[in-house]
Amino acid sequence: MANQAESHDEWLKQLAEDSKRKQESFMNGIAQKLKRPRVMEAPKHPFRGAPDFWQSFEWPLEERMDRFEENFKSAGGHVARLSDMDAAKQFIAEKAVSLSARYVIRQNQPELNELGLEEALQGTGASVRVWNSDADENWKARAAEADFGVVVADYAAAYTGSVTVLSSKDKGRSVSLLPTVMFVLIPLERLKTRLGEILIHFDEAGREQLPAGIHFISGPSRSADIENDLTIGVHGPGVVYALLIG
């Protein structure tokens, strides 16, 4: 096994050398076809991002909530406005009972650690697993069998009705993807108007700070591939609750 791993690494190293050589000729070829020398310095990009009139566009909070709800619902999602985290806990617990959920998986986020979902679900027959809380567990399989996945949004955009979730050690990409039902909690201060207000953070953070997965989610998984007939829940969660909190 060790030998195999070593030879695989060597092979990758060989590929990397080939690739770097190829990269030079590739770029030189492009410059040649464009009939000018290679561009080595960052060119001035006068059209970066959305048009100017769009950059200052912002809705007041109440309208952001209304528009988010409208857009998320029209994509087939559900929205509930809740006064605080306690109400969110109650909401999820009630759904667990009414939908007979048995397996719940949640991110290991501070807001969820404080939520007390575990206690609220006691006696309902549902058990709660916390993502990546045990190094020996197969977490993808645990997420795949889960009825409920519970996550807290990093951002949300009202204009498109989207939530944004970022991956980390404590925040699995699978938790918002593999369970049948997904709950995404959105603290109101994270609800923006435009996508651009969220995307700019990734430019400002820079490469080294970015997580492996950044996912914008705008409703339940859907397809219209058979006779244009809308089908919900093809691969990802078929039922999605966005809980606006605050």
Partner 1 sequence: MSTAGAASTVKERADLALNDEFLRKAVKFTTERLRNGKKQASDEHGNWDDWRERGRQIRLHTIAHLDYYLNLFADQARANGVHVHFAETSAEAVKLSLEIAQRKQAKSVVKSKSMVTEELHLNHELESIGVEAIETDLGEYIIQLAGETPSHIIIPAIHKNRYQVADLLSKEAGETLAPDTSILAGFVRKKLREKFLEADIGMTGCNFAIAETGSMVLFENEGNARMVTTVPKTQITLMGMERIIPSWSDLEVMATLLPRSATGQKLTVYMSGITGPRRDVDADGPDEMHIIIVDNGRSLQLGDPEFQELLNCIRCGACLNACPVYRHIGGHAYGGTYSGPIGAVLTPALNKNVGEWDDIANASSLCGACYEACPVKIPLHEMLIYLRRRKLEQGHGNAAESLGMKGFAAVMGSARRYSTLVKLGKLGQKLVVRDGGIRLKLGPLKGWNTYRVTPSLPKKSFRDQWGTLEQELRHGLQELDPAVKSRMEAIMRDRDSGGGNGHG
- Map the footprint of partner 1 across residues 27-66, applying CB under 8 A: 27-31, 33-35, 38-43, 45-51, 53
The residues in 178-217 that bind partner 1, with binding defined as CB under 8 A, are 194-196, 199-200, 202-203, 206-207, 210-217
Tell me which DSSP letter residue 44 carries.
P
Distance of alpha carbon 203 from alpha carbon 109, whole angstroms = 24
Look up residue 49 and give its two tokens.
Answer: 């991002």
Q: How far is the CB of 79 from partner 1 (least distance, A)?
A: 15
What is the helix (H) or strand (E) element at residue 103, kind and residue range? strand 103-106
Torsion of CA 84, 85, 86, 90, to 10 degrees: 110
Range 143-172, binding partner 1 (CB under 8 A): 143-144, 159-162, 167-169, 172
Which of residues 27 and 188 has its CB atom nearest to partner 1 in the complex? 27
Tokens for 43?
Answer: 């060119």
Please give the Cα distance from 216 to 2 (Å, whole number): 39
Q: Is 224 in the site for partner 1 (CB under 8 A)?
A: yes
Q: Which is nearer to partner 1, 34 or 97 (CB)?
A: 34
Q: Is 101 left (phi over 0), alpha (psi -120 to 50) or beta?
A: beta
Binding to partner 1 by residue 2, rule CB under 8 A? no
From 11-19, 84-92, 93-101, 109-117, span contacting partner 1 (CB under 8 A): 11-19
- Min dist CB 86 to partner 1, Å, is 29
Amino acid at 241: Y
Site string for partner 1, 116-135 (x = CB under 8 A): ---------------xx---
